Structure 1
Amino acid sequence: MDTALARFGGMDVSPKLKQGDRVAVVSPSWAGPSVFPAVHERSLHRIREDLGLEPVEFPTTRAQGTPAERAADLMAAYADPAIRAVFATIGGSDQITVLPHLDPAVFRADPKPYFGYSDNANMLNWLWSHGIAGYHGGSTMVHLSRGPAIDAEHLASLRAALFETVDLPITEVPGFRDEEISWQDPRSLIDAAPAEPNPGWVWHNADRVVTAPTWGGNLEIFHWNLAANRWILPNDAYAGSILLLETSEEMPSAESVFRVLRDAGERGLLQQFPVVLLAAAKASHFGSRPDRADRDAYRDEQRTAVLRALETYNPSAMVVFGVEFGHTGPQWILPYGGRLTVDGPQRKIIAHF
């Protein structure tokens, strides 16, 4: 058994929830609910009505707290035996400063599932390093609140993560949304942003079947953790894992993506992953709305940059580009520390919830 599967054997995965359970709704990064309360209230309503769970807020959920205060809320949520899962409201830009204030013993004592992405990759990585699995995706203000209903793919994978023990196919969606409706516009609570045709997944070295636990997350956070050199374990701790990578609304250049992966390769880290999944790259934001051709070109350049780094540091890796997780919608929630099967010959991805 390789290192990654050995880690999974020791990874703490909490029991599934049941209807009526209480779940924490916290803001470990930016306290978005304080700025957009109507969006936050919509997410609480959908937790109750669509999931049958009871959301519980904490002091910094709606008020921007210091790193120590946000850490205290996280520890309070994990210390409360009545809380059975923890949802992040949204990401941000400084969650890495919360981590030094956390006591691992509190989280190990009751390893309940954590849902988030973007800046929440800091928390997911920290939990992973302490043997606790989580879920990449699911910030409440983003994918629970937007538009007339929760996306079917998001809801199916969220329900699987919360309530089911199931092997769920992660499939290509016919169209995805790269644009957003501003939360300052009341239409954001009613209408869905426009979808564009999905160019489909691109497979590279799709010649094997790999089942393994996942690790990674947002590329920018990945880079911060490498730079801080505080929240990264020795390289062989990740050996055999499936690397998840996605980029944010900051839309890093292809050269920036290459340099992050090059640095991981120089460290010896990039070589540890037999499979790399790249999310459909976000190529539009409020301040930058390129036309369709420019968005396609951006994604093509990013794919070329990733392959350029892998050609040097991990040429045999199987890679899937364009998977719908991360910053685009619909968003599949994926296990983080739990297992995926990536079947190259059959062009299939299965999430084991």
Structure 2
Amino acid sequence: MQNKQFIYPVKLQPGDKVAILSPSAGLPEIFPEVFDLGLQRLRENFGLIPVEYSCTRKMNTSPEARARDIMAAFADPEIKAVICSIGGDDQIKVLKHLDPEVLRAHPKPFLGYSDATNLHMYLWNLGIVSFYGGAIMTQFGRYYAMDEYTVESLRHALFQDGEFEIMPASEWSDENYNWGEPEKLRLRVPMFSNPGWKWHNAGSIIEGTAWGGCLEIVDYHLRAHRYLQPLERYKDCVLFLETSEEMPSAEYVYRVLIGMGERGLLQQFSALLMGRPKTWNFDRQLSTEQKYTYNREQEEAILKALQEYHPSMPVIFNMDFGHTDPQFMVPSGGYVRIDGIEKRVFVRY
């Protein structure tokens, strides 16, 4: 059942002010057209008022400055939620500059993914539910139009209470255009038919609290060992993981899971939700056959690690969250129910 130590922040109302932060990379400075389109969609599709901070449109800001933006946004009573502009690769450096008591006293919906895994983990440690997904430049500023699958999930996360069933998206994509060519923002991205999720060790009903994020950032925390909790804190939680546009090798994925297994961490979780891996990037544009091979090799690496450390763990592969499009918001610290008998998944937003 849902861990009673976690609280869900108050939901939003149309007209509320929302902080738009860059706690990782300040890419809005380099690609303002994409960022502004995302802000426009936030206003028009959701009726929310974006509020920018000192680092939102600045590259190469210090961890201390980014932490000040985070603290100011959470402490401001007029700000009702915090949304990341985009990810990056060094947000872990920001965490030591945060005041946990301020965040604990002012819980608010927090959205972002990839490098934002760092803040999701920090809030998890404070007992605050956050929502993994929904960055301004990728989901809101998506080419052509926002995907309705993503929009529906964002509405649940931002505005609605209750338990909702998560269904596979009808189609998906991991390809996009170059942000340096803003004239293409109105073009459709290539989309592919979704064959659905792949279940392993199905057959039981599992309830638990979600913990996880981007596998590469989880690896940061395995190495730093500064923000991980005692093992018993993760007992019977539901692990969710996905890999980034860096497209790590299957061997790397296997080694990260080895690290979790040797710590005794992997064995604490009751199930694994695995996001569909991104199999295409500008510097590595895989063919359809190569994409299939990459996906299969990652799945085999995960199953190999689980066979060694947690062979009975149920797994759902190719789920619609993370670095592919569209995505549902994963409630980090929130309630998840996996019906392996009927092959259905429910989350509480």
TM bucket normalised to smaller: over 0.9
- Give 1:141's match in structure 2, choosing from 134, 137, 143: 137
1:82-117: CA deviations, max 9, x gaps? 101000000000000000000001101110011010
Residue aligning to 1:41: 36
Counterpart residue number, 2:224: 228
Residue 50 of structure 1 is matched in structure 2 by: 45
Are residues 1:165 and 2:161 paired? Answer: yes
Q: SS state of the match for residue 51, structure 2?
A: strand
Residues matched between the structures, number:
348
Deviation at 1:71, TM superposition (A): 0.1
Residue 71 of structure 1 aligns to which amino acid in structure 2? A
Matched letter for residue 287 of structure 1: D
Shift of 1:262: 0.6
Name the amino acid aligned to 1:342: I
Is residue 247 of structure 1 aligned with residue 243 of structure 2? yes
Structure 1 distance, partners of 2:183, 2:49, is 26
> Counterparts of 1:187 and 1:124 in 2: how far apart (Å)?
34
Output aligned runs, 1:140-219, within 5 Å.
140-219=136-215
- Deviation string, structure 1 residues 132-154 (Cα, Å, up to 9, x no partner): 11000011110100122211111
305, 330, 341: which is aligned to 2:301? 305
Partner of 1:330: 326
Q: Distance in 2 between matches of 1:342 and 1:188?
A: 40
Which residue does 1:112 correspond to in 2? Answer: 108
Over aligned residue pairs, what C-alpha RMSD do you find?
1.0
Pairing 1:22–2:40 present? no
Find the aligned partners of 1:289 and 1:104 in 2 and give their Cα distance.
Answer: 42
Deviation at 1:172, TM superposition (A): 1.3
Q: Structure 1 residues 131 and 188, CA, compared in 2 at 3 Å: closer, same or farther?
A: farther
1:125 is aligned, of 121, 128, 132, to 121
Listed as ranges, the gaps of 5+ residues in structure 1 are none
Contact 1:181/1:187 (<8 A) preserved: no
Q: Distance in 2 between matches of 1:168 and 1:32?
A: 33
* Residues 146 and 188 in structure 1, CA contact (< 8 A), matched pair in contact too: no
d(CA) in 2 for partners of 1:200, 1:16: 30
DSSP-derived class of the 1:148 partner:
coil
2-structure distance, mates of 1:161, 1:175: 21
Q: Distance in 2 between matches of 1:213 and 1:309?
A: 22
Which residue is equivalent to 2:70? 74
How far does residue 192 in structure 1 lie from its aligned partner after superposition?
2.3
Letter in 2 for 1:34: E
Unaligned 5+ residue runs, structure 2?
Answer: none
The answer on whether the counterparts of 1:283 and 1:295 sit within 8 Å (CA) in structure 2 is: yes
Partner residue in 2 for 1:278? 274
1:166 deviates by: 2.8
Contact kept? 2:339, 2:345, Cα under 8 Å: yes
Q: How far apart are residue 187 of structure 1 and its match?
A: 4.1
Shift of 1:174: 2.3
Q: 1:167: Cα distance to partner?
A: 2.2
Q: Is the 8 A contact 1:157 1:168 kept in 2?
A: no
Q: Distance in 1 between matches of 2:37 and 2:8?
A: 29
Matches within 5 A, 1:76-91: 76-91=72-87
Distance 2:13 2:217 in 1: 33
* Superposed displacement of residue 341, structure 1: 1.2
